[in-house]
Chains A and B, each alone.
Chain A
Amino acid sequence: MGIFATRKWLNATVLLLKKRTMLYTRNLVYAHPNGHALLFPDMECAAGDVLLITGGSGVGKTTLLHLLAGLLKPAIGEIHVAGTAIQSMKPAAMDAFRGKHIGIIYQQSHFIASLSVRENLLLVSKNTRLQEISEKLGIQQLLHKKPAQLSQGEQQRASITRALLQSPQLLLADEPTASLDDENCIAVAKLLAAQAAEQRAALLIVTHDNRLKQLFAHHITLS
């Protein structure tokens, strides 16, 4: 009886620990249509943590981000997001899962040009936290504008707001600071990390921007 109880407790603890791990990958390989295979190192990121993926151009940073977002399928290997293996999910299920659990911030901010900023932000989430998050990111005055009327920095903040509004468990950011000066680069990176921590989301930043290395302890360099 004592042995069984101990095993049960151990299993529960392992599950709890696994639950805290929002992202982990094992033996990830992507077969590029041109015939090249890209091998990625195993990675793990817990809720509230930041993992920086760096590397030069063409090493597969964006491919990795797309694999983690379920936009691409790996040839082999495992990707677990919030405890769910996503590598073998069907497209419809993956779309739904992504909408619920994964927020993506792109280097180039994409918006629906015909909608206002507010409408863009509410495309996949409800109104409940819009006020709070848009105030934190300082874009509440811009909500009625069309995306084309915003500056690049404002668009970036709106893009972050949209990702956060989804209340994701995994936040993926692709070169979020590429076009920012040093001051704004640090401000945006800190903002992202703070918001991810507040939401208990794992933040994975894919970048070639070496300025971020000094901010985050955990980083993997792709080569």
Chain B
Amino acid sequence: MILRIAFKNLLHKPLYAVLCWLLLACSTAVLLLLITLSRQAQEQLEKQIDGVDMVLGAKGSPLQLILSSVYNIDAPTGNISLEEAQRFMQHPLVESAIPISLGDAYMGYRIIGTTDAYLKKYNLQPATGKVFSQDMEVVIGATVAKRSQLKVGSKFAGTHGLGEKGHVHEEHNYVVTGVLPPTGLSVDQLILTSLQSVWTIHETNERQITSVLIKFKSPLAQLQMPRMVNENTNMQAAVPAIEINRLQSLMGSGTAVLRILGWLLAGLATCSIFVMLVQGTHERRYELALLRSMGWGRGKLLSLVLAEAGILGIAGILGGFLLSRLSGWFLQQEVFSHYHLNFSGAWKITPADLITAAAILAACLLAALFPAIRAFRLNISKTLANA
């Protein structure tokens, strides 16, 4: 009965209720979306650098080198000589080294010259077809296959550069030999081929590569080798863990600002609930007095006002949850295509989501406490006498 009256009271003044609900839903959505995006971005960033202790490449920004070689986002810093790189690739402290050569793309999807070690890093086998073994053979990621309609046996020519437009290498056609299963990683949007294919297309005698993804045998090497490379060669050694930490701290300050904005919105929402309930209990003081005179106890009146705030709070949280997940879904399209991140697990409810929801609900009930106590302490005789 209390819940029913509380619900009907909210519907009786829909404008106030909808305004409070909207504010609550928006603030909850901002906070939950931030939690989801931070969690997913962290998971994705960590998943991609798994098994890469150092990236060897041309001098320039270390973050740019990591982003271009590991996450396939940014432009590469330049090329290095394979011969020079091999000195470190064959170093006794190195467990595995995966060379990468960038230069071309197809419909905006990067064509990467590498070895089958790249697939082994992700434990990948083509879902259909086989791994490239000859020059000009490629395996394509699941997203590439889906969006470009390429399949095993399809032929295509790459475009020079990493964009969608540029000189088309029409004289050299690639053949698709395999299609990889979806992974949720950036490899879904890559076209992988042999290093020799890249060199053949660019008709160069100098064997150059873009970077090498290196895994060490022991953590000790992580301390020695980057310094060795950076001090004694023309190349650059970047450590993904350090660069990603730097990136996360840069992103963290932006996230903190948005989080403050979210809590400010939540504060505004609870203030509006407070005002609505204070005004509501004043306007409905005769109704409250009537309920007391018909036998309702003080506790019931207190519960009635709290129930109104509780219903608004729960509706706001549910609306905010849906809004955050829908915005996440729309953002996913944008984020996934530009930053090669996958937010497919975003519907999952985490303890952080529950804590945020509980904090918002508690704030709503706290906002209702003063009007609820006013209802509790209502002087029914005086109120009814003044009616």
Contact = CB atoms under 8 A, between A and B. Distances in A.
Nearest to B297: A95
A100 B387 contact: no
A166 interface: yes
B291 A71 contact: no
Nearest to A93: B297
Interface string A33-67: 00000000000000000000000000000110010
Contact of B294 (A72, A91, A99): A99
A3 interface: no
Contacts of B298: 91-92, 95
B384 interface: yes
B11 interface: yes
B362 to A, nearest CB: 26
A99 B284 CA distance: 20
A124 B287 contact: no
A124 to B, nearest CB: 5
B167 interface: no
A123 interface: yes
Interface residues of B, number: 26
A69 B289 CA distance: 13
A8 interface: no
Contacts of A104: 293-294
B256 interface: no
Contact of B387 (A96, A106, A112, A115): A106
Contacts of A221: none
Contacts of A162: 294
B295 interface: yes
Contact of A99 (B5, B12, B296): B296
A39 B5 CA distance: 40
A99 B295 contact: yes
B293 A108 contact: no
B11 A71 contact: no
Contacts of B289: 110
B90 interface: no
Contacts of B4: 119
Contacts of A98: 293-295
Interface residues of A, number: 28
Contacts of A91: 297-298
A119 B286 CA distance: 17
A113 interface: yes
Interface in A163-213: 166
A114 interface: yes
A108 B387 contact: yes
Contact of A111 (B8, B287, B293, B297): B287
A66 B379 CA distance: 12
B382 to A, nearest CB: 9
Give the residue among B9, B284, B384, B387 with the most A Cβ atoms within 10 A. B384
B155 interface: no
B385 interface: yes
A110 B297 contact: no
Nearest to B298: A91
Nearest to A99: B295
Contacts of A166: 294-295
B51 to A, nearest CB: 62
Nearest to B385: A62
Give the residue among A71, A104, A162 with the most B Cβ atoms within 10 A. A71
B381 interface: yes
A55 to B, nearest CB: 15
Given A113-B287, A114-B8, A115-B8, A66 B384 contact: yes
Contact of B286 (A71, A110, A123): A110
Contacts of B286: 110
A95 B296 contact: yes
Contact of A95 (B9, B295, B381): B295
Closest 10 A/B residue pairs (Cβ): A99-B295, A114-B12, A114-B8, A110-B290, A71-B381, A66-B381, A95-B297, A124-B294, A108-B387, A72-B381
Interface of B: 1, 4-5, 8-9, 11-12, 284, 286-287, 289-299, 380-381, 384-385, 387
Given A71-B293, A112-B290, A114-B9, 17 more contacts: A62-B385, A63-B385, A69-B293, A91-B297, A91-B298, A92-B297, A97-B295, A98-B293, A98-B294, A99-B295, A110-B289, A112-B8, A112-B287, A113-B12, A114-B11, A115-B5, A124-B294
